[in-house]
Copies of this chain bind each other. A is one copy, B any other.
């Protein structure tokens, strides 16, 4: 279960855009510098976000990128889905397309439950929540247990 580099970079870029949204658009290079992301790689990611309707771009002298919607209305899951496809997949396919047999039959409901759980978090947190450092209460609650911060 790994968050890809594309997804991590995309979210960080979106957060940077959410943060500096009053004022002109941000150039790709400025975002790359601020978040320490390879800038040509980031260009491709911003392009995906544009095609996905999350971001608007403007070329030319004082061009750059800006969010297409209010940061409150874009969830972290929205960003990840646009650059990486389905939120959670097993062997590259979405859980409902799987079929198991024998003693593994109850594996499907398990993956479904796992996905529902992940959605609860990533669909429920917006760019505005993260950028303003005010995560929803139920998410914050999970971070209180010190065990959540230890390794395995």
Q: Which residues of B contact A11 (CB under 8 A)?
A: 104, 107
Q: Which residue of B lies closest to A11 (CB)?
A: B107
Instruction: Tell me the dominant secondary structure on chain A's binding face.
Output: helix
Residue A87 at the B interface, CB < 8 A? Answer: yes
Query: Which residues A64-88 have CB closer than 8 A to chain B?
Result: 76, 80-81, 86-88
With beta carbons under 8 angstroms apart, the residue of B3, B19, B91, B103 that contacts A103 is B19
B89 in contact with A117 (CB, 8 Å)? no
B116 in contact with A118 (CB, 8 Å)? no
How far, in Å, is A75 (CB) from chain B's closest CB?
11
Q: How far is the CA of A1 from the CA of B24 in the complex (A)?
A: 34
